[in-house]
Amino acid sequence: MSTFPMMTVQQHILEEQRRLRPGASGDFSWLLSGITLATKMIAAQVRRAGLVDIAGAADEGKNVQGEIVQKLDVIANQALLQCLGNRGNVAVMASEENAEPVVVSRDWENGTYVVIFDPLDGSSNIDVNVSVGTIFSILRRSPEPDKYRTPLEDVLQPGLKQVAAGYVVYGSSTMFVYTAGNGVNGFTLDPAIGAYLISHPNITMPAHGSIYSVNEANADSFPEPYRKYLAHLKSGKAGRQYSSRYIGSLVADFHRTLLKGGVFLYPPTSSHPKGKLRLMYEANPIAFLAEQAQGVATDGTRRILEKPPESLHERTTLLVGSRTELDLLKQFLK
């Protein structure tokens, strides 16, 4: 039985608004309720995937990334587009599954928010019952009226401009983890009552860990500093014995790193010299969460949150984790 007070994510958001922004209109909490509703719908489908023929590839073939679209990708994307499109305050949405930003025609003029998301990260793992997740990033539109501003210009803001970010991991339990710039909190879905209840308040990433997470099958194509860094961790010379853990779902690998410490690496490779993860709806929200939990997120040369985006589906290197492991990595990258 949890020792934490029974507080739903909606109650928590409202309490934080009253404490930090007493004059807030409630628009932001209404927006987040759209995300939590969509993720409950997705969680229900994930649990039933093997029973109702929604596992496996969809008829759509490949998405704009050149990746095979899974049936649950389509379901998750539609759930988020519908739930957020009905909020009344979202002007633009952008998804991994859509080539261009999606404009909410009804709210284009007056909508104040932009929401970017990866509807089902790691969806290729559904068939083998591995944890998957949803990642989201929330930005505020420029208050300056500009009839010539395009939806893409609304979307292409650096990570520092995020007003909130988070993810949901669909695993042995369904967890919603988010930040609105004042720390990181985690909530577990209680299926008996259909509500996310606080289970991990004020999450702080440990200053160091004993786990590194990287796809070592690609190690031969990593730049030399990364290979030397991994060899150093495995040698025990870093002062502790490290273990390797790699799931292949960014949400699941980062969730472990957030709670347990250590480092997650997706370095450049010969096939993806600029990195493989997407800046806007994977790296930026993960970096925001990491920094709010006192961790570090970089592309090897600069903070992820400082990178000026050039395109919606831009890719990046992502190195994220505890300060001790990232400080050591920086020494090798020099």
**Does residue 84 sit in the same domain as residue 175?**
yes
Co-location of 157 and 259 in the same domain:
no
Confidence of residue 152 (pLDDT cuts 50, 70, 90): very high
Q: Is 1 contained in some domain?
A: no
| pLDDT tens digits along 20-33 | 777 666 788 899 99
Do 169 and 222 belong to one domain?
no
Residue where a domain stops, chosen among 200, 221, 245: 200
The pLDDT-based confidence of 252 (bands split at 50, 70, 90) is very high
Structure-block tokens of residue 161: 């401009």
The CATH number of the domain where 224 resides is what?
Answer: 3.40.190.80
Asked whether residue 221 falls in the same domain as residue 196, the answer is no
Task: Please say if the pLDDT value at position 272 is more than 60.
Answer: yes
pLDDT tens digit sequence for 184-215: 999 999 999 999 999 999 999 999 999 999 99
192 and 235 co-located in one domain: no
Q: What is the CATH number of the domain that holds 136?
A: 3.30.540.10
Overall domain count for the chain: 2
Listed residues 200, 220, 253: the one ending a domain? 200
- Using an 8 Å Cβ cutoff, are 135 and 320 in contact? no
d(CA 220, CA 16): 47
Residue whose entry in the numeric block shows the structure tokens 């209404």? 30
Note down the domain range covering 150. 9-200
Tell me: do 176 and 266 sit in the same domain.
Answer: no
Domain shared by 171 and 256, yes or no: no
Residues 115, 102: Cα–Cα separation, whole Å: 10
Residue 224 scores a pLDDT above 80: yes
**What are the distances in angstroms from CA 81 to CA 13, 37, 97, 145, 259?**
22, 12, 11, 25, 30
Contact 41, 174 (CB under 8 A): no
Q: Give the distance between the most distant pair of CA atoms in the chain.
A: 59
Instruction: Please name the residue ranges forming H helices in the chain.
Output: 9-20, 27-47, 71-85, 151-155, 224-235, 250-260, 284-292, 323-333
| 3, part of any domain | no
Confidence category of residue 125, pLDDT binned at 50, 70, 90? confident
Please, are residues 159 and 282 in contact by the beta-carbon 8 Å criterion? no
